[in-house]
Amino acid sequence: MSTLPPLVELHLHLEGTLEPEFIMRAARKNGIDLPWASVEDLRSRYEFSDLQSFLDLYYANVSVLREREDFSQMVYEYLRRAQAGGVRHAEVSLDLQVHTSRGVPLEVAFGGVRDALDVAEERYGITTRLIISFLRDRPPAEAADLLRRLIVTGARFDGIGLDSAEADYPPALFTEVYEIARQHGLRRTAHAGEEGPAEYVRQALDLLHVERIDHGNRSLEDDALVQRLVRERVPLAVCPLSNVRLRVVDVIEEHPLVRMLEHGMQVSVHSDDPAYFGGYVDENLVAVRDALAITPAQEETLLRNAVDAAFVDADRRAELH
């Protein structure tokens, strides 16, 4: 019997790993007034009606990150949790624009994250990739400026992503940003088809030349697109617990993951914003295993798809397989 590959996390927002305890502690340390009375009060707000209702809380809470060590600490705490859950490779996204646009110097936010990622393999046995995500509801020119600044200053990161409010912000707006990334050999992913239509998945492929899609659920509304995703083996980094909490699906039992597998789509399971949605990648896998009666063969496919979709070289891929 073949052994299963280890857990690979491909869809994780670092700011989405801020646990309520961390948020309240950092707010106290940095003298920031948050509207929550306690950890329990904050946790009681984790009821979302859609993506925007979650983003409002997520963006409010990142205000507690001020110093370089806050950014490092966020990443250390994530790595510790990931290691405990069996993760051996993590490709993490940073919403850098959120921090620079509220006055945090680039070196503080980026440098703090980099400090922690640089010791991830040695301390936690986890190889990492860093993806800088741009916010689709902020001006594309701001994203292009930030990307150019990162490139000019020699910042070490591996790829770019596109996230935040999706409806009415088509990927087409970010064609130039992705072209800059492509010219500089950066890897490319984008959120598409979470709340936005299947057409946004097409645009991400045709205009942004992404190598994988974050979410992609609404691709299922377009048969020709499903056939294309299967034919071109486009990886979809799906987040089941997120989809339930943000009402992309009504209940976990109705999650389309098995349907996607049966179509032959290259889906894998990840966590998105685990502190907000009730589960890290290991817990997402347990949730679908239980609720969707995933077979051992399907689970192996999910794990292997994640390894195949990772932005790693052939040697690391072979080790992970």
Rule CB under 5 A: which of 241-280 touch Zn ion?
272
215 is in an annotated binding site: no
Q: Is the dihedral of CA 199, 204, 209, 210 positive or negative?
A: negative
Q: DSSP states of 7-48 as a string?
A: EEEEEEEGGGG--HHHHHHHHHHHT---S-SSHHHHHTT---
What is the smallest separation between the CB atom of 171 and ligand ADE, expressed in angstroms? 13
Residue 91 interacts with ligand ADE (CB under 6 A): yes or no: no
Q: Report the distance separating Cα 190 and Cα 213, nearest Å.
A: 5
What is the smallest separation between the CB atom of 241 and ligand ADE, expressed in angstroms? 11
Residue 212 interacts with ligand ADE (CB under 6 A): yes or no: no
> What is the residue type of 160?
I
Tokens read off for 182: 């492509």
| Contact partner, 16, from Zn ion, ligand ADE, none, Cβ < 5-8 Å per class | ligand ADE
- Is 194 a catalytic site residue? yes
Q: Which of 19, 272, 282, 308 binds ligand ADE (CB under 6 A)?
A: 272
Q: Which residues contact 86 (CB under 8 A, 6 or more apart)?
A: 6, 7, 282
CA-nearest of 313, 317, 223, 241 to 280 is 241
11 is in an annotated binding site: yes
| Strands 235-238 and 266-269, bridge-based pairing | parallel
Count, residues near Zn ion per rule CB under 5 A: 1
Residue 163 interacts with ligand ADE (CB under 6 A): yes or no: yes
What is the smallest separation between the CB atom of 14 and Zn ion, expressed in angstroms? 11
CA-nearest of 5, 3, 14 to 271 is 14
Residue 166 interacts with Zn ion (CB under 5 A): yes or no: no
Return binding residues for Zn(2+).
Answer: 11, 13, 191, 272
Return binding residues for substrate.
Answer: 273
Residues that bind ligand ADE (CB under 6 A): 13, 16, 51, 58, 163-164, 191, 194, 242, 272-273
Residues that bind Zn ion (CB under 5 A): 272
